[in-house]
Each structure stands twice: as structure tokens, then as C-alpha cells.
Amino acid sequence: MSTAQVLAADPWWLVLGKAVVVFGLLMGTTIFAIVFERKVVACMQMRVGPDRVGPWGTAQSVADAVKLALKEDLTPKAADRVVFTLAPVIAGASAFGAFAVIPFGPEVTIFGQHTVLQLTDLPVAVLYVLGITSVGMYGIVLAGWSSGSIYPLLGGVRSTAQMISYELAMALSFVTVFLLAGSMSTADIVAGQQHLWYGVVLAPSLLIYVVAMVGETNRAPFDLPEAEGELVGGFHTEYSSLKFAMFMLAEYINVLTVSALASTLFLGGWRAPWPISLWDGANRGWFPALWLIGKILVLLFGFVWLRGTLPRLRYDQFMRFGWLVLIPVSIGWIVVVSVVKTLHEAGVPLAPMVLVVVALGVLGGAVALLVRRNRESFHPEPAAPSAGYPVPPVNGARVGLLEDYRA
């Protein structure tokens, strides 16, 4: 039977148990991720990090949650109270719902009932994830609009524009996976990576997705909707107590969601990495759930690494990169993969090898472009005397306008 048929036979108590386990796993992983991020960034900056609450500061997230819950819940006088309260609920609920179609492992037996380590499966599961994460965008823009203040409104508008542009690039990176797997079901995509992960033959798609998922989750260095120097704090400036905690919870769960989706689509899902995969029992029973969680943690470390090393981009640079680089490259890569797949189905030899060579060429060109732009940013060409906007005199130098007027 297919995965969908096995899941359809699950009794109600098993479905409810799976939902509770997924909810608890997300809450526990979020608590761990906050401490993990603070510890890693502290190590990068040669600091200690949290070390007061619990052993080595491991209970700091619990203390922060209790502190937020005990804070006064303030609502601005000019705010729309209904929408102001509903916005964080929308953001949090959409973040939790995206994990419903993520497969954690193969078929197992739970209390005598044969099932799959997955809450549910859909023929269009990946589109479901894109759709429900897009609903979270409404929570952000409504939070900015309902606050009754200009800075949260600007943060909500910037966040919406950023998420829309990078969700387009993210969705286009999925198209090549659909072409190779022949399905949009997450279970079928994992099954198609039994011999080779899609991240190997579709390396440009993986690279595009990694950049897009950081931009789509508003994480540093792409946390422009929360740029404190420009917007005070972004769309959640007027929020406090549990409403603010709900936005932070949604942000971290979205990080886990995009990491789990990257693992499922490009990194083999719950399948063990090589050379562990050489063991016959590596992809059986409950072990595969450990491999998926391990891959999510590796990607989570990548998020923290980026935050601790890269400065924040300018908003126009970031949006230009999304619309003029990621999206055109994604469309061109889709054309290449479609042509190679058609040639392979027609019996043309070495078609997969051509795909790998083109993938390496695209990656090499992207690296060369980044290096070139990096050099130009550090060594800009001198501007023409008449170009640019007027600037104040440097080091007290006289401009000479008064002398020219007198002459």
C-alpha cells in the first residue's frame, strides 16, 4: 500500500497521538533552538552566553517563557483590538500546521497498529506547505496594520514584500524536484532519493532554496523587517507578553519547517547519510527519525552561523538580489533540467552527466559573480566629479561657492 493509504487506515487515537507528539517535538525543539543559538553566537563572539539558569544555562528558554507570560499584556489605544489579538494566532497556527506533511520515518508498529511516522500525506503536500506558510504572512501584515503605529506598519509591509519575493524563488526551486520525483507528495519525494539525494544532482536548486529560506523566514542577515535602526523593532513593536512570544515561537518553528522541508526535498529526508546507509537497519524502524532530526539541527546551525558572521544587507540590495538574480536563475535552471530529463527519457546517453556538469557550471558562475561583486564593494570605482548628490565639505575645506559668487 502507498503511504497515503496506510495513513488513511489510522484510528483516531493514533492520529491524535501523532499530532500531540509533533506539537511537543516542535515546542521542545524551539526551547532547545533558542539556547542553542545563544550559545553558538556567544562562542563565535568569545563570550560565555547563558550560564545562570539550569546546568550550563540550558533552562534559560524556560525562564524567558515564564518571564514573558508574567509580563503585562498591553494593547495600544489606537489599535484594532480584534485584529491585534488575532494576528499572532494566525502566525503561530500556520507555523504549526506546516509540519503535518513532513515524513519522519518509514512504516512502523505502534501498539499493534501499522502506520507511517507521518501525520498525513497529500498528493500536493509541498504546495500545502507553501500555502499554509503564506497564511502566516497575513498574521505579520495584520499585526503591523492593527497596531495603530507607523513603524509596525512599515515593518509589516516590508516583511510581506520580502516574503512574497523569496517565496517565489523558493517555489521555483521546488519545480526541479517535482520533475525528477514525478510527484509533489513528500513521501514519494523521499522514496525517490533511495539511491541518490536530489541535493547532489540539483545543487543549484538546493543553493537557491537555502538563500530563499533564510530570506523567507526574516532571519539575519535578512532580518530587514525587524531592522531596529530603521523600524524600532518591526511589525511586533507594540506587542508584549504572550502575544509577542507567539510571534517569536512562529519564527523559530518556521526555521524548523524550512529546514525539515530542505531535508525532505534535497537531503534524502529520513534516510541515513552515507556511510551509515550501508548498514541494513539504518533506514528501518525508529532510527530514521534520528537522521531527519540530525539534518534539521545541521541546517539550524547554518542559520545561527549566518547570524553570527554576516552583517545585515540594505533592503534594496536584498530585494534586487531576489528578483533579478534568484528568480531568473531558477527559471533558467528549470529549463535545463526539463531538457536533460526529456533527453534521458528519449534514451540519449550521458544525459544525467550533462545535468551534473551544468550544475557545476551554474555554481561556479554564481561563486565568480559573488567574488566579483565582493571585490567591487571593497574597491569601488571613483565617481565622476559631477556625479552623485552634494555632500558637506570634508575636514573643514571651503566649498568655494561664496568666492564664485563674489567673482
Which stretches of the chain drop beneath a pLDDT of 70?
1, 225-231, 348-360, 362-363, 365-407
Q: What is the pLDDT of residue 263?
A: 93
CB of 150 within 8 A of CB of 233? no
Cβ neighbours of residue 170 closer than 8 Å, sequence gap 6 or more: 130, 208, 209, 212, 213, 216
Cβ neighbours of residue 77 closer than 8 Å, sequence gap 6 or more: 148
Q: What is the pLDDT of residue 355?
A: 67
Q: pLDDT tens digit string along 317-348?
A: 888 888 888 888 888 888 888 888 887 787 76
Closest by Cα among 155, 103, 160, 156 to 129: 103
CA 304 to chain centre: 12
How far is it, in rounded angstroms, from Cα 294 to Cα 47?
A: 26
Cell of 134: 503564506
Cell of 221: 542577515
Closest by Cα among 221, 298, 231 to 290: 298
Please tell me the pTM assigned to this model: 0.83
Cell of 104: 519522519
Q: What is the pLDDT of residue 227?
A: 66
Is the N-terminal amide bond of 76 cis, ω within 30° of 0? no
Q: What is the pLDDT of residue 392?
A: 55
C-beta neighbour count of 325 within 10 angstroms: 16
| Adjacent-strand bridge partners of 114 | 109
Q: pLDDT tens digit string along 247-298?
A: 888 889 989 999 999 999 999 889 988 888 888 788 888 888 899 999 999 9
CA 113 to chain centre: 35
CB of 42 within 8 A of CB of 142? no
Q: What is the pLDDT of residue 189?
A: 92
How far is it, in rounded angstroms, from Cα 373 to Cα 352?
A: 32
Instruction: Classify 189 as helix, strand or coil.
Output: helix
Closest by Cα among 221, 293, 309 to 256: 293
Count Cβ atoms within 10 A of the Cβ of residue 349 and give its class: 0-12 exposed, 13-18 middle, 19 or more buried: exposed
Q: What is the pLDDT of residue 300?
A: 92
How far is it, in rounded angstroms, from Cα 119 to Cα 7?
A: 8
How far is it, in rounded angstroms, from Cα 113 to Cα 78?
A: 54
| Side chain identity, residue 402 | L
Instruction: Classify 147 as helix, strand or coil.
Output: coil
Site of grid cell 575645506: 397
Q: Which helix (H) or strand (E) element contains residue 22?
A: helix 12-44
Q: What is the pLDDT of residue 36?
A: 92
How far is it, in rounded angstroms, from Cα 200 to Cα 221?
A: 26
C-beta neighbour count of 6 within 10 angstroms: 16
Q: Is 274 left (phi over 0), alpha (psi -120 to 50) or beta?
A: beta
Q: Which helix (H) or strand (E) element contains residue 108?
A: strand 107-110
Q: What is the pLDDT of residue 351?
A: 58
